[in-house]
Structure 1
Amino acid sequence: MKVERQKDEIVVRFSAGKNASKIQSILDYLRYEELTSKSKATQKDLDLLLKETKRGRFDKIIIEMGLDEKDYR
């Protein structure tokens, strides 16, 4: 592993190997941290978004299957 600091970035180099999936998991987490670091969303905001998303997906499935949505609410 090689770590280099370049201006306002840190560059990390790994030799190719069998642990690529573990490295990718760590990189995914770091990317998540980078993307959410300035977020002002609260847990309540996230819960509401998740609820709306699930409802929209559920409604779409009911329509696609041709089911009567009254039976599922």
Structure 2
Amino acid sequence: MTQWTIAYTKDNNTSTLHLQAAQKPSLDQAVALLRAHAEREYEPLDATAQDNDLEGPAQELLQRFGITITGIAREE
């Protein structure tokens, strides 16, 4: 199996989540893995009026936890 790193930003800091998988995770898979991680590690944010226009799983991650995925890379 290959080691993959999902890089993300939260509160103007870059963090990483590591996983092993045979293939590079898709963005949807990365969002699901990061959402599960965020639910264990972070408090959800309070909803604001500016969040109403956001849609989709990546935007939900941003809206709910303030997290943006910045990359998925294979570790060497």
Please say whether Structure 1 and Structure 2 have the same fold, judged by a TM-score greater than 0.5.
no
Bigger Rg, structure 1 or 2 = 1
Bigger relative contact order, structure 1 or 2, given CA contacts below 8 A and separation 6+?
Answer: 2
Hey, which of these two has a bigger chunk of strand by percent? 2
